[in-house]
Amino acid sequence: MLTEVIERPPEKAVSATPSLATDLSWLLSVAARPSMQARYPKLAEMFTGREDLADRVRDFWDDSEETCFTEMQVLAQHAGAVATTDPEELWSAIEHAVATVPLDLSMPSETPEEREIYLSRFRMLRESPALLRSYLDLLEEVWAPVDGMWQQALPIIEEAGRQVVAQYERGQSLELLIPGGCDILAARMPEILAGVDAGHPLLFVPCLFFGSCMYMEVDGLVIIGMGVGQGDVMARARTESVARRLKAVADPTRLAILHSLVTAPSTVGDLAVLFRLAQPTVSMHVKVLRESGLVRSERQGGRLRLSADAAAVELLLDELRQVVLQGAAGAQAAGAQFAGPQPAGASTTGNERTPATVVERTLSAVPVTS
């Protein structure tokens, strides 16, 4: 008996994730290049009063005219830390990757000259523990002042990634989803699309501190970095974030509990008496409010005191006002405040190119996968 074998097409591995390493790469590029500081003034402000730090970033490597830290992203990818959102985890991953990263990596996104520069840096970091320590200290010093801001923006960044993957799943072509303007990317696009059709992975990385586009391809992984302030992706991401918090207060009991906690801090037991509800029921409502960031808790004398986070409530109201009254334009402007104006055809290639290398507190270290 003959059995017909049906060949199924390979699954397309398109995913998205926040990436501390990728956002950091853009900050390093801005710190190192005066031309980019002029183009992205909001990012440049982060180095106001820290000009010595910008100088140290610029002078750390003296092997190329345009300083960039592509090797940092390659190390993060080799260590499996592209999706890491915890700084300490990233520094540790990079440190351990230095000893094991292959010195014959394939880097289709880089020129032969750039590839040799990055491989040489791997050798230097591997041979000098003192240089490696200085390297890690520099990365940490650049990132530390912005970590709180970035961690707070993670829900928006993650949602932007989900929206990109959702658009792809609904049939949007990758050619339209991938920001254009990069000459190397344009030349490689047919091979990239064929690779995705064959099941090779492509990772979208929405970034908070970003310009227009980053393309990196190392050892079979294609990474596309993009700013979260781009078009309807950012608008939808912002409205999704607001909607989740509104859902928390859409229940009349939860809204009443929040109102009570705005008036005076309380305990679950006190709230149960006040609203004539069982304590497990109150605990369930409080859990939803805490997860939405609207209620905080503090242990006092063995009792857990609950209070409304007035700043978080005000932020929700402000964001709701912006979404409803200002629409997508306001949301896009909020996400684009770091990116600066993007002229037609702007790219991350040429003199303004961020490393086109490997390379979305961690809310999710697992990429959203198609």
127-142 pLDDT, tens digit each: 999 999 999 999 999 9
Kindly list the distances between the CA atom of residue 103 and the CA atoms of 75, 100, 106, 126, 127, in Å, as whole numbers in the listed order.
11, 9, 9, 11, 13
Say if residue 122's pLDDT is above 90: yes
pLDDT band at 250 (very low <50, low <70, confident <90, very high): very high
Question: Could you give the percent of the chain with pLDDT greater than 70?
Answer: 80
Cβ–Cβ < 8 Å for 364, 15: no
| Average pLDDT taken over every residue of the chain | 81
Rounded Cα–Cα distance for residues 58 and 48 (Å) = 15
- pLDDT for 322 equals 80
> Mean per-residue pLDDT for 44-57?
83
pLDDT in tens, 190-210: 999 999 999 999 999 998 887
pLDDT band at 308 (very low <50, low <70, confident <90, very high): very high
Least confident of 44-48, 103-107, 116-120: 44-48
pLDDT band at 261 (very low <50, low <70, confident <90, very high): very high
- pLDDT for 19 equals 96
- The CATH number of 233-314, from 3.40.718.10, 3.40.50.720, 1.10.10.10, 1.10.3210.10, is 1.10.10.10
Say if residue 281's pLDDT is above 60: yes
| Segments in the chain forming alpha helices (H) | 20-32, 34-39, 41-44, 51-60, 70-78, 87-97, 112-127, 129-143, 147-152, 154-169, 174-177, 183-197, 231-249, 252-263, 268-275, 279-291, 310-321, 327-335
Give residue limits of the domains in the chain. 14-229+342-363, 233-314
pLDDT in tens, 316-355: 898 888 877 765 444 344 444 455 544 433 333 333 444 4
> Mean per-residue pLDDT for 14-28?
93
- Of 165, 167, 150, the closest CA to residue 22 belongs to 150
> Mean per-residue pLDDT for 293-309?
90
Is the pLDDT higher at 206 or at 51? 206
Beta bridge partners of 266: 306
Is the pLDDT higher at 256 or at 339? 256
- pLDDT for 236 equals 61
Cβ–Cβ < 8 Å for 104, 55: no
Rounded Cα–Cα distance for residues 40 and 34 (Å) = 10
Whether this model's pTM surpasses 0.75: no
- pLDDT for 230 equals 46
Question: Could you give the percent of the chain with pLDDT greater than 90?
Answer: 44
Rounded Cα–Cα distance for residues 285 and 283 (Å) = 5
Query: How far from the centroid of its chain's Cα atoms is residue 165's Cα?
Result: 15
pLDDT band at 226 (very low <50, low <70, confident <90, very high): confident
- pLDDT for 229 equals 60
Cβ–Cβ < 8 Å for 69, 358: no
- pLDDT for 259 equals 94
Kindly list the distances between the CA atom of residue 124 and the CA atoms of 129, 131, 183, in Å, as whole numbers in the listed order.
9, 8, 30
> Mean per-residue pLDDT for 65-86?
91
- pLDDT for 357 equals 34
- pLDDT for 350 equals 33
